[in-house]
Structure 1
Amino acid sequence: MRTLPIAICLGLVAATMASSGGTQVPDAQISPRSLQWQKAGEQALANGNLQAADDALETALVLDPRNRGAFIALARVAQRQKLYGQAIRLTGKALALEPNDAVALGVQGEAMVEAGATARAQQNLAKVRALCGNKPCAPATSLAAAIQRGPSLAAKADSSPKKN
């Protein structure tokens, strides 16, 4: 009689453990709805509609917070809005999911250049080149060009001392 409650509890624990694993999605599989919102956000960004792009990409991340592409696209929106610190943070979140993402490293490096952190951007460039190997790749090419160009004129004007 005393063992019956213990047996029932163990049976319930075993039943719930077996059923919890059946609903989990593998990390490599991103929600299709999240990918649809990501594509809509990227299209809005390409059309120059930053608010719609921001909204769609935020929705993509709500649907699936493991969507690295949405983080990277959202970082590009932040760059267009001249919010370089936010772009660096967003690409950092993408890199937390996959540290060897050459695109995220490149976008982060470009934001670092605009923020004035050229030395850190050069470290990102070295990582991107190592990931690409001997092959030329777009993230390395665009980051090298950004480092060569330096911060934009708008960023230089914002950082210059104000005269009263």
Structure 2
Amino acid sequence: MTARTTRTLAVALSLTAALAISGCSSDTKDSASGSGDQPKLTVSGGYMPEPVNDKMAGAFMVIKNDSKTADKLTGVTSPLSDDLQVHETKDQKMQQVQSLDVPAKGELQLARGGTHVMFMGLKNTPKVGDKVTVELRFEKSGPVKVELDVKERTYKAPTSTDGTSH
């Protein structure tokens, strides 16, 4: 064998090994996580109406899931309050829940009169134009940080194409 043939063979073997290793690692990741399709969440339209006092405030947004794997919103934290709760409204009564579903290829709408986040015992009272940071926690996805715009108390979110408001 000539030196040139040996080099060519070495390069070919190196490329083959690199491709095999990268293929194996990607297969391992897929099999370890089940479907291999982790939830892909994005948040839009986040806002908080200006609180009347420092007792409580609501927060609203849309959490979109572009993956084939459902997830759950399990908690929220913020420097503005040590007590944030996830609420739903049923039969015109607000109640705390442990989690809210974020469906696969769907969205969770946190809106007035429905599901929302409640800040209890605010550390200060944000004003219109301020921004409030929250961190959303999910069952499967990593935490997502969101900045909420503080809006007028009468603010109504734009209506989406399906007729629901955000």
Compare the two structures and name the one with the higher strand fraction: 2
| TM-score normalised by the chain length of structure 2 | 0.31
TM-score by length of 1: 0.31
